[in-house]
Amino acid sequence: MTHARAALAIPMALSLPALVNSVSAAQSAGPDLILLDSLVLEETGEHHIGNPLGLFIGADGSVLVSDGFAATVLRYDATGRLIGRFGRGGQGPGEFVNLGGVGFVAATVAGFLDESGRLELFGLTDGAQSGRVRMDMNNRTSSFSVREDSLWFAGINPVSSATFGAVSISDLLNAVGADEQTPPILLDRGTAPAPYAEAHALARSLSHAFIDVGDDDVILGFTASPFLLRTDHAGNGVDTAWIAPGGRRGEPAEDEFIEAMRSDRATSQQDLRSWMFDFFGSVSFVRDLSRDEHGNVYTVHQDADRDDEGSMTGVRLYVASSRFDGEAGCADTLIPTSDIGAPVPFLEDSTLWVLDRRLAGAASAGLATVVRRFAIDAEQCTGTVR
């Protein structure tokens, strides 16, 4: 996203590189990554992964991949063998108009967000559709977290600035086919950071939040924010933690993020598009978060460029660790991936899965889809991958 283009002029003090928080030379390296295993996913002529958007891991080690090209979610067992799928393209029951990368996997049910405004639900073992619930546009979620018998979700409501909510899984299933005026997914707790309340297309495009739920608190991360927010279950703010940058570009400082939007002088949609692409190419974005039993909070960050058509190129992923108890975390470690397509991460506790595309072999022009599993060691901040 550092391509030369007809970007809008921005005051020198607010040039896009200046939006990135500076890093001291003494900044620690990131957490160590320990490769646990690597899984090649089975693909056939009928079921081939064309555009992987989301990665989900079941409690039994099964791997689920949402594929935007085929408009389906493919399910694999722990050995990489294809064992089923959820949904297909279309507008009927269990079908997707615009499948994205947001979803959840619970004990008996899985749900995947259709960007057209509904959550499609399926039985986890048989793949049969369990129904669908409507998603109100102002309550569109960008991440889910299953805790015991409840489904928690996060996003940013553009009207109220609320950031998360929760519903029991039984109530969610009971809402299937219920009154269309009472969708069960409501962002009604917490308050988003100030930049996301700006009436600007950039704020709207970056209104994504990520959630981890504890016994008595919630941790939230936001796409373009260099800090984490901790609240109680009701959404009352408790604390914040800085996500230290290292090798990545870094998320923009809040006041500079706001000032950049207020200084925008776009006179056309094309000018605005170019300005936003240049912004995207100058900063990092949060992609996922989780925490372990020791209080370490892990975040995955993405740096990428954009070609002249707006497609992402040169995608790089980093993992960092932070803490809320005042102890130092680790900066970020570059996650090893190929340069083919956009890798897709999934975090749970201190384990990181990354879906990547690689050449199938030296004598083959085909691609293989590989899921690599890493343990994250926040006690060793050397940035080593082993």
Q: Which amino acid is at 22?
A: S
Residue 373 token pair: 């599993």
What percentage of residues in the chain have a pLDDT greater than 90? 77
Higher pLDDT, 177 or 156: 156
pLDDT score of 77 more than 90: yes
**What distances in angstroms separate CA 349 from CA 29, 212, 214, one per listed residue?**
20, 10, 11
Could you list the beta-strand ranges (E) of 191-296.
209-213, 218-222, 227-231, 237-242, 285-291
Q: How many Å apart are CA 245 and CA 383, to the nearest integer?
A: 12
- With contact defined as beta carbons under 8 Å apart, do 244 and 320 qualify? yes
Q: How many Å apart are CA 229 and CA 112, to the nearest integer?
A: 26
Higher pLDDT, 26 or 208: 208
pLDDT score of 7 more than 60: no
Q: What is the pTM of this model?
A: 0.90
Q: Kindly tell me the burial class for residue 160, based on how many C-beta atoms sit within 10 Å of its own C-beta (0-12, 13-18, 19 or more).
A: middle
Residues 326-370: tens digit of each pLDDT: 888 999 999 999 988 899 999 999 999 999 998 876 555 688 999
- With contact defined as beta carbons under 8 Å apart, do 99 and 73 qualify? yes
Residues 283-328: tens digit of each pLDDT: 999 999 999 999 999 999 999 998 877 788 899 999 999 999 988 8
Residue 114 token pair: 């259709």
Going from N- to C-terminal start, the domains of the chain cover 1-30+268-386
Element (H, E) at 181: none
Question: Which residues does 359 contact at the CB level (< 8 Å), separation at least 6?
Answer: 338, 340, 365, 366, 367, 368
- With contact defined as beta carbons under 8 Å apart, do 10 and 312 qualify? no
Element (H, E) at 203: helix 201-205
Element (H, E) at 270: helix 269-280
Q: How many Å apart are CA 357 and CA 355, to the nearest integer?
A: 7
Residue 71 token pair: 């408009």
**What distances in angstroms separate CA 199 from CA 154, 158, 225, 258, one per listed residue?**
20, 9, 17, 10
The rounded Cα 386 to chain-centroid distance in angstroms is 25
Beta-bridge partner residues of 164: 154, 189
- With contact defined as beta carbons under 8 Å apart, do 251 and 228 qualify? no
* pLDDT for res 328: 84
Tokens 């962002």 locate to: 187
* pLDDT for res 71: 96
pLDDT score of 15 more than 50: no
Number of Cβ within a 10 Å radius of residue 142: 19
Residue 230's closest CA among 187, 289, 146?
289
DSSP assigned state of 385: B
Q: How many Å apart are CA 341 and CA 317, to the nearest integer?
A: 12
Element (H, E) at 367: strand 367-377
Tokens 């039993």 locate to: 293
Tokens 């940013």 locate to: 156
Q: How many Å apart are CA 295 and CA 319, to the nearest integer?
A: 16
pLDDT score of 8 more than 60: no
Element (H, E) at 261: helix 254-262
pLDDT score of 23 more than 70: no
